[in-house]
């Protein structure tokens, strides 16, 4: 699907093994991010060396794609890559000039050294490719719905990126759907049953109820429909897992 739509680069927010394996030998350049909860452990060179071995080296071959790893502790990772003989094949970067972290102005130019001028087009990444029903909603429910594609790879709307002959996104092919089964509230179930509320909370915590919010796609459901939506969301996720 990525190649059909002319995508040449992709950015991942962690080194998910199956995702990286799927991108292997695709010709697509991959930028691998390291989650914040992992950064603290990479202050140690040994830990950085192990991370490179487990998450980068295992996916590289002589004809594999260039993978760039982005995180603040770049010196340890770069040294680990050099030791692994991949210092030229894999490039390590940080999202901003590192001086920004020492700047009270929060701008790279306000740091100790500033940034070099770069009179060339700037690479931009669309965030994000696909909706993620397991993404943290701490910043807001919208975080799970920023994808230009839903879970099955069908374009949400007409979008011309100038990368396809059709002038629009090409949907994913050969998508296999699960059998059409749903889990809903029993018609004779009483809403005042003391087990209903905690059951809904349990289902939403492990499913995805972000479409039930104010002015969302399913925001107009009644109480029984809301409960059924929560139960079914949990059921579908568990069934597909």
For 41-87, how does the pLDDT look when each residue is reduced to its tens digit (9 = 90+)? 877 889 888 988 888 888 875 444 444 443 446 677 778 888 888 87
Is residue 182 scored above 60 in pLDDT?
Answer: yes
Distance between CA 10 and CA 26 in Å, rounded?
A: 11
pTM flag (> 0.75) = no
One domain for residues 140 and 200: no
One domain for residues 141 and 201: no
Are residues 105 and 83 in contact, defined by beta-carbon separation less than 8 angstroms? no
Using pLDDT thresholds of 50, 70 and 90, give the confidence band for residue 234.
very high
Answer yes or no: is 216 within a domain. yes
One domain for residues 95 and 205: no
Distance between CA 175 and CA 10 in Å, rounded?
A: 21
One domain for residues 141 and 233: no
Distance between CA 20 and CA 66 in Å, rounded?
A: 12
- As a whole number, the mean pLDDT across the chain is 81
One domain for residues 136 and 208: no
Is residue 106 scored above 70 in pLDDT?
Answer: no
In terms of average pLDDT, the best of 52-61, 88-97, 131-140 is 131-140
Q: At what angle do helices 74-83 and 45-55 cross, to 10 degrees?
A: 60
Strands of the sheet containing 29-33, edge to edge, are 9-12, 29-33, 67-70, 92-93
Are residues 78 and 92 in contact, defined by beta-carbon separation less than 8 angstroms? yes
One domain for residues 23 and 91: yes
Gyration radius (Cα) of the chain, Å: 22
Answer yes or no: is 1 within a domain. no
Q: Which of 111, 240, 116 is nearest to 181 (CA)?
A: 240
Q: Which domain holds residue 67?
A: 9-145
Task: Kindly report the backbone phi and psi dihedral angles of residue 120, in degrees, each rounded to the nearest multiple of 5, phi listed first.
Answer: -135, 160
Q: Between 75 and 202, where is the model more confident?
A: 202
Average pLDDT over residues 142-156: 91
Answer yes or no: is 165 within a domain. no
One domain for residues 24 and 139: yes
Answer yes or no: is 151 within a domain. no
Last residue of a domain, which of 119, 145, 171? 145
One domain for residues 94 and 202: no
Domain count, the chain: 2
One domain for residues 207 and 126: no
Answer yes or no: is 156 within a domain. no
> DSSP alpha helices (H): ranges in the chain?
17-23, 36-39, 45-55, 74-83, 196-206, 223-240
One domain for residues 14 and 112: yes
The β-bridge partners of 94 are none
Answer yes or no: is 33 within a domain. yes
Answer yes or no: is 175 within a domain. no
Query: Omega before 128 cis (within 30°)?
Result: yes
One domain for residues 41 and 141: yes
Of 8-17, 25-34, 112-121, 188-197, which range is least confident? 112-121
One domain for residues 39 and 137: yes
Last residue of a domain, which of 102, 126, 145? 145
Give residue 71's pLDDT: 40
Answer yes or no: is 178 within a domain. no
Give residue 124's pLDDT: 72
Is residue 90 scored above 80 in pLDDT?
Answer: no
Of the chain, the percentage scoring pLDDT greater than 70 comes to 80
Is residue 165 scored above 70 in pLDDT?
Answer: yes
């Amino acid at each position: 699907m990525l190649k059909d739509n002319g995508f040449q680069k992709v950015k991942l927010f962690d080194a998910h093994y199956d995702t990286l394996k799927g991108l292997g030998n695709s010709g697509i350049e991959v930028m691998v991010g390291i989650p914040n909860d992992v950064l603290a452990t990479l202050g140690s060179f040994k830990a950085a060396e192990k991370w490179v071995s487990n998450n980068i080296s295992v996916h590289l071959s002589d004809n594999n794609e260039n993978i760039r790893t982005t995180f603040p502790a770049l010196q340890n990772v770069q040294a680990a890559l050099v030791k692994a003989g991949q210092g030229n094949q894999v490039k390590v970067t940080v999202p901003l000039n590192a001086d920004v972290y020492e700047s009270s102005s929060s701008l790279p130019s306000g740091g100790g050294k500033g940034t070099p001028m770069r009179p060339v087009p700037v690479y931009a990444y669309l965030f994000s490719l696909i909706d993620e029903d397991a993404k943290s909603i701490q910043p807001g429910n919208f975080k799970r719905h920023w994808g230009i594609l839903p879970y099955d790879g069908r374009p949400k709307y007409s979008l011309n990126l100038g990368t396809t002959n059709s002038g629009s996104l090409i949907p994913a092919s050969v998508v296999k759907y699960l059998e059409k089964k749903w889990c809903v509230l029993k018609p004779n179930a009483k809403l005042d049953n003391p087990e209903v509320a905690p059951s809904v909370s349990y289902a939403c915590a492990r499913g995805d109820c972000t479409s039930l919010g104010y002015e969302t796609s399913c925001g107009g459901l009644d109480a029984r429909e809301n409960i059924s939506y929560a139960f079914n969301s949990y059921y579908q996720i568990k069934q597909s897992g």
